[in-house]
Amino acid sequence: MTKKNQGLNILGIETSCDETAVAIVNIQENYKGKILSNKILSQNKEHSPYGGVVPEIASRSHVEHLDDLIHQALKDAELSFDNFDGIAVTSGPGLIGGLIVGMATAKGLSLATNVPLIGVNHLEGHALTPLLTNDTSFPYILLLVSGGHCQLIIVEALGKYSKIGTTLDDAVGEAFDKAAKFMGLGYPGGPELEKLALRGNPYAFDLPRPLIDQDNCNFSFSGLKTAFIRLTRSIEPVDKKTSADLAASYQQAIIDCLINRLSKSIEIVKELRPDLKIKNLVASGGVAANKKLAEQMQEFSKEKNMEFISPPIEFCTDNAVMIAWAGGLRLSAGMRDPLSINAKARWPLEEVNIN
pLDDT of residue 257: 97
At the top level of CATH, the class of 8-128+316-352 is alpha beta
pLDDT of residue 350: 86
85 burial via Cβ count (<10 Å: 0-12, 13-18, 19+): middle
66-89 per-position pLDDT tens digit: 999 999 999 999 999 999 999 999
Quick check: 2 pLDDT over 60? no
Higher pLDDT among residues 106 and 18, named by residue: 106
Instruction: Map out the domains of the chain as residue ranges.
Output: 8-128+316-352, 137-310
pLDDT band at 188 (very low <50, low <70, confident <90, very high): confident
Question: What is the b/e burial string over 319-336, where b = at least 16 CB atoms within 10 angstroms of the residue's CB?
Answer: bbbbbbbbbbbbbbeebb
CATH 3.40.50.620 corresponds to the domain 137-310: no
pLDDT given for residue 6 in this prediction: 84
Angle between helices 189-197 and 291-303 (to 10 degrees): 70
Same CATH fold assignment for domains 8-128+316-352 and 137-310: yes
Distance separating alpha carbons of residues 255 and 257, to the nearest angstrom: 5
- Confidence at 212, pLDDT banded by 50, 70, 90: very high
151-179 pLDDT, tens digit per residue, is: 999 999 999 999 999 999 999 999 999 99
pLDDT confidence of residue 53: 86
Q: Is the preceding omega at residue 274 within 30 degrees of 0, hence cis?
A: no
pLDDT of residue 47: 85
Longest CA–CA span in the chain (Å) reads: 68
Q: What pLDDT is recorded for position 187?
A: 80
Edge-first strand listing for the sheet containing 150-157: 160-166, 150-157, 140-145, 280-284, 307-309
- The model's pTM: 0.93
Q: What is the mean pLDDT of residues 37-56?
A: 87
* DSSP run (H or E) holding 92: strand 86-92
Give the mean pLDDT of 281-296.
94
Q: Determine contact, residues 93/123, Cβ cutoff 8 Å.
A: yes
Cα 255 to its chain centre, rounded Å, is: 17
